[in-house]
Amino acid sequence: MLILSYILNKSNQRYQMARQLNEELSSLSNIYLLVYDIDIIGNTFKEIKSEALADDELSEDENRSASSILEDFIRNKVNDVSLNDMINFVNINTLNERLHDSETVALEYRNKANKWRRARFIETQRQKNGNVTHVLWLIEDIDKEKTERDTLINLSERAFAASDAKSSFLSNMSHEIRTPINAILGMNEMILRECEDTEILAYSESIKTAGNTLLGLVNDILDFSKIEAGKIEIIPVNYDLSSLINDLVNMIQIKADDKGLALALDFDKNLPKLLHGDEIRIKQVITNILTNSVKYTEKGSITFSIGFKRIEDEPDSVILLVSVKDTGIGIKPEDMKKLFMEFERIEEERNRNVEGTGLGMAITKNLLYLMETNLNVESVYGFGTKFSFELKQKVVKWEPLGNYEESYKSSLSANKKYKEKFIAPAAQLLVVDDNPMNLMVFKSLLKQTKVKIDMANSGDEAILLTQDKK
């Protein structure tokens, strides 16, 4: 009885294995044109399935080895373009090495009818020492898949090429436009420094404001093209937080005053003054946020806050807590996603008179991402918006910031009419630039210092001048 039970149990196991194998082969039959079982040790093969397609079927011959049949198949059925690769692929002697760390190897090729096929070896039996003894040889029709895939790849490559061309165009044009803008601003600065006529000075201030706005737009486009091209890097340096704050407040105070907005400042007096980070990008991010708040606030106030918190595991670092809160128009929940979209403006009709490219917040988001943080936005439509982010910075020196408002007020009272800081009539400078306007601006800005300036339009001209004057 026990023996009978054992035999039945073994038979049931074989039945289950046979059933599983049959199911697997049935699923294979829906995918593959040819399926052959190859005994590597005996160098024999057995047909499991064949569609009997004239351009892909194997010539069965029980008296010939599997390797010779496969080689004949390659030479008779494979396009010359794929021939050498396929001869190497069907080499049974190297299969063990190729299947050492994998259960399958595959290769795509063209057949004589120029249709795409995929050949594949799948390990089906392996010895305890790791040597493969049996594999399945399969041929799959991938002609339609390959054609569609190549079409998608071609479209993708064309899209990337178009994107690169656009980024390159934006970058080049931004550089080209910035040169004359800087020349205009430079020459206008000479008017502000030397002119005494109040009416002309008023015109000049308008030129300065418009020029700086235009320069800001161009810089946004340039930064955006750099971000798209992956060419913006975060470059940390030691910087003075009080200087950074001073620049930001001076910039935004003018914009807020022009719109009659109150600017509230809230800076933790215990903030460490000397930090290590990318001062330029931090300033750019906060400038974008402050400018955005002023643009979309018609009345009320802007509150600019910076605090910090210590990091327990890193005593030489802090996390800056930066926030800008306004009493502006706010953002509808359904419009929140538009905030960070390139060239997109929230409520276009309502804000049609607001200047800008629509790139500022997209650039801000990307720069913060590069600095391993993100921008948080809280808004109630009709009541205002709060922007905030947390940024990790290394501390160079723990000297506290102190009372910023007092130092800010003293810096305001120190603003006087321009006067040169030095006079050096014995000094000599050589200035080299291929743009004549830049040379003129440079010489004009240093005119009141009485420095003697030689100008060169090229490197060759500069070398000749240095031979006369050391």
User: What does the pLDDT look like over 127-138, one tens digit per residue?
Assistant: 888 888 888 888
> Could you tell me if 208 and 237 lie in one domain?
no
Residue 5 has pLDDT above 70, yes or no: no
- If one counts the domains in the chain, the total is 5
Pick from 116, 119, 95: nearest CA to 106 = 119
Residue 260 is predicted with a pLDDT of 92
First-residue to last-residue Cα distance in the chain:
114
> Could you tell me if 189 and 110 lie in one domain?
no
In a domain, 146, yes or no: no
Give the residue, 413 or 310, on which the prediction is more confident: 310
In a domain, 249, yes or no: yes
Residue 343 is predicted with a pLDDT of 53
Residue 438 is predicted with a pLDDT of 82
109 Cβ neighbours under 8 A, 6+ residues apart: 78, 79, 82, 85, 86, 116, 117, 118, 119
Cα→Cα distances 200→36, 163, 191, 203, 416, Å: 92, 45, 8, 5, 19
Residue 50 is predicted with a pLDDT of 62
> Could you tell me if 72 and 208 lie in one domain?
no
Q: Domain boundary residue among 214, 230, 246?
A: 230
Q: Are strands 116-126 and 104-110 parallel, antiparallel or unpaired?
A: antiparallel
Residue 264 is predicted with a pLDDT of 92
Query: What's the whole-number mean pLDDT along residues 340-362?
Result: 59
Q: Are strands 262-267 and 237-240 parallel, antiparallel or unpaired?
A: unpaired
Say which range, 126-140, 219-233, 270-284, 322-336, has the weakest mean pLDDT.
Answer: 219-233
The four Cα atoms 222, 443, 243, 305 give a dihedral, to 10 degrees, of -50
C-alpha span between 180 and 199 (Å, rounded): 25
Query: What's the whole-number mean pLDDT along residues 153-166?
Result: 73
Domain encompassing residue 212: 162-230
Each residue's pLDDT tens digit, 418-461: 667 788 888 889 999 888 878 888 888 888 888 888 888 888 88
In a domain, 148, yes or no: no
**How many helices (H) and strands (E) would you count in the chain?**
12, 14
Tell me the residue type at 364.
Answer: T
In a domain, 219, yes or no: yes
In the structure, what pLDDT confidence band is assigned to residue 172 with cuts at 50, 70 and 90? confident
